[in-house]
Amino acid sequence: MQDNVTRGARPDGGRDSVAIVAVLLLWLALWASRLHGPINLRWDASTYYVLGTALAQGKGYRLLNEPGEIEAVQYPPLLPALVAAHERALGTSDVLVVGSRLRLTYFILSGIYLLAVYALGRTVLPPSHALIATTGTGLSFYSFLHPSDTLYAEIPFALTTALFLLCLRRDRPGGRVGAGLLAAIAYLLRTAGLALLAVWVADCLARRRYREAVVRAAIAALPVLAWQTHVARVTSEPAYRMPQYPYQRAAYNYANVTYGENASLVSPFHPELGRTSPADFVARVGRNVLALPGSIGESAWIAVGSAPYLFDKVRSATGWRPPPREPVLAVTGICLAAIGVGAMIGALVLLRQGEWRFPLFYGLTLAMICLTPWPEQFWRYLAPLTPLSYVFLIGALLATARWLAARGPVGRTAGASLAVAPLAAMLLAQVVIAASFLRGLQPVSYFGADGRERQERLLTYEPPWHALDHAFEYIRREAARDDIVATTVPHLAYLRTDRRAVLIPLEPSADTAARYLDAVPARYLVLDELGVPGIAERYGAPVVARVPESWRLVYTTPGTATRVYQRVGR
């Protein structure tokens, strides 16, 4: 990779111009079919929106969906502040209005991000390879398509990360100050920004600027102390220890407690497994380390479950009979792990050549990911690393190709193939998957105050989510203003029904769960078909089965098993 490091830093105006045009065309192609309608508000996205609405209304950093509008302590506040800025500028919190403008904001941010990725690749690669890294990033479902379609922190955080790494390479006062500011912004977007703050300080230590390192460490501590002071204040107040209902601040009630509290469980969506012991923690880290290579491959390339779909496409185009599903999944898993291992090897190659900033940030982020109990969320944590994964993988392939070329004519042929074939196959598979998603946008229904339905399209909004749209609309029409809804997705329920909404209690005992719902008190219970993490199936349905006399079925979304139950006698 040494030759490419040298060439990567060398101006190449003509080829750079062509590559930048290609990046812009890629950006527009990936957005052409999805520029209309509100941004996706599934899962954490609706939490960010609720928090932003509280800020816009001057209520502080609060979860408006909760009884008592409790103060939030899990999500750093910068993305909700972005939502609040949109609401204040537009003069409304209407999801249709503000969500549509947020979609345009993410459209712009994602375009800047792809340009930043190209610039980042050019610091160590020639134009053609930097373009490959950018194209791979843009075509990645987990690292670009899905995050850019959803109100998650991934795209703003990834953009901030890329700009930080670019600024850090410029050993000038403006670059150093800009890098520090970007690191602070990253931390206020996601706690993982700690890695950027650490790299910013380490940059001074590596240059033996120890006095400046002390100053940077003090500055880096400011955003951390500011947020953690807020968390400490809220968690020390009587209101936190004496909540509105028994499980409002339970460790499994993820949006209502700190990351540390939620992560203290062996499995946050299976709280009956108990708290994490030292042995459990060591086992968790071990499992995560083993899972990392494959997770890096999934985040950068395709999900393991996409392989059978690709083979079906080949079959329909050629008539070739694909192999059985299980071997396909096994081989895909091996390929994904190979991509991850290749990226790690490339990071080591770059580190040996003296470029330590990229590998250090990469390694620190991977280390933090290994501490978490959410392997199903690794794709989100790894999304900002995808540009570096591609840079490292390309570097490893080029270094191997040069080594083979030095072995003679056969080695040169093998090296040339190794430098081209894997990347070409990866990009081709990504094109097929991306095109499939962009052609098959999923319907989502919004309802006006008059009950009129407006249907839009989202990249990911499977039928079980669409069924919830109608279930929540039923509650919005029928529920009294002070009624409370219990559901798997309380923040989305609040946005759709304008009624208080709480998480279904994750209690293994149906009796305990029923008693907790009585204490809320929940007037409506929504049982969905969302599948993973299976909250409605494992914790909500047993309540209805245990005390059927207390819950009356009042609505079922046509053609689905999504049901709304109303409490009897209240």
Listing DSSP states for 255-267 in one string gives GGS-HHHHHTBSS
Q: Which residues contact 207 (CB under 8 A, 6 or more apart)?
A: 171
Domain ranges of the chain: 7-152, 153-263, 281-405, 462-567
Output the pLDDT for position 411.
74
Residue with tokens 């712009």: 108
Output the pLDDT for position 322.
66
Contact 384, 161 (CB under 8 A): yes
State the alpha helices, DSSP H only, in 479-552: 490-497, 510-519, 535, 541-546
Contact 565, 543 (CB under 8 A): no
Residue with tokens 């880290």: 285
For residue 480, CA distances in Å to 52, 476, 477, 499, 556 come to 25, 8, 9, 8, 19
For residue 71, CA distances in Å to 61, 63, 236, 284, 369 come to 6, 6, 12, 30, 26
Given phi > 0 = left and psi -120 to 50 = alpha, else beta, which region is 408?
A: left
- Asked, as a colleague might, if the bond just before 278 is cis with ω within 30 of 0, I would say no
pTM of the complete model: 0.94
Output the pLDDT for position 10.
61
CA 108 to chain centroid: 18
Q: Count CA within 13 A, CB hemisphere, residue 54.
A: 24
State the alpha helices, DSSP H only, in 39-145: 44-56, 78-90, 95-122, 127-139
Output the pLDDT for position 313.
62
d(CA 177, CA 163): 12
Contact 77, 56 (CB under 8 A): no
Contact 199, 360 (CB under 8 A): yes
d(CA 29, CA 411): 38
Angle, alpha carbons 166-168-170 (nearest 5°) = 80
**Coil/strand/helix, residue 454:** strand
Output the pLDDT for position 337.
94
Contact 68, 244 (CB under 8 A): yes
Contact 219, 180 (CB under 8 A): yes
**Coil/strand/helix, residue 556:** strand
State the alpha helices, DSSP H only, in 271-385: 278-300, 307-318, 325-352, 357-369, 378-382
Contact 147, 44 (CB under 8 A): no
d(CA 161, CA 78): 15
Output the pLDDT for position 311.
66
Identity (one letter) of the amino acid at 56?
A: A
Averaged over successive runs of 10 residues, the pLDDT of the chain (570 residues) comes to 49 86 98 96 97 98 97 97 98 97 98 98 94 96 95 97 93 85 97 96 91 95 97 95 95 95 94 94 94 93 76 64 75 91 94 91 96 86 95 93 81 77 91 90 93 93 96 97 97 98 97 96 97 93 94 96 90
**Coil/strand/helix, residue 62:** strand
Given phi > 0 = left and psi -120 to 50 = alpha, else beta, which region is 447?
A: beta
What residues pair up with 341 in beta bridges, in sequence order? none
d(CA 188, CA 370): 21
Give the residue from 330, 341, 331 showing the smallest Cα distance to 300.
341
Q: Which residues contact 187 (CB under 8 A, 6 or more apart)?
A: 76, 193, 194, 196, 197, 223, 224, 227
d(CA 134, CA 119): 9
d(CA 410, CA 200): 45
Identity (one letter) of the amino acid at 377?
A: Q
Contact 464, 563 (CB under 8 A): no
Output the pLDDT for position 309.
67
Output the pLDDT for position 265.
95
Q: Which residues contact 425 (CB under 8 A, 6 or more apart)?
A: none
- Contacts of 479-484 with CB under 8 Å at 24 or more apart are 479/523, 479/524, 480/523, 483/523, 483/524, 484/67, 484/520, 484/521, 484/522, 484/523, 484/524
Backbone angles phi, psi at 505, to 5 degrees: -65, 130
d(CA 380, CA 143): 7
What residues pair up with 224 in beta bridges, in sequence order? none
Q: Is residue 231 exposed (0-12), middle (13-18) or buried (19+ Cβ within 10 Å)?
A: middle
Terminus-to-terminus CA distance in the chain, angstroms? Answer: 70
Output the pLDDT for position 14.
84
Output the pLDDT for position 495.
98
Output the pLDDT for position 510.
96
Contact 60, 73 (CB under 8 A): no
CA 67 to chain centroid: 28
d(CA 302, CA 309): 11
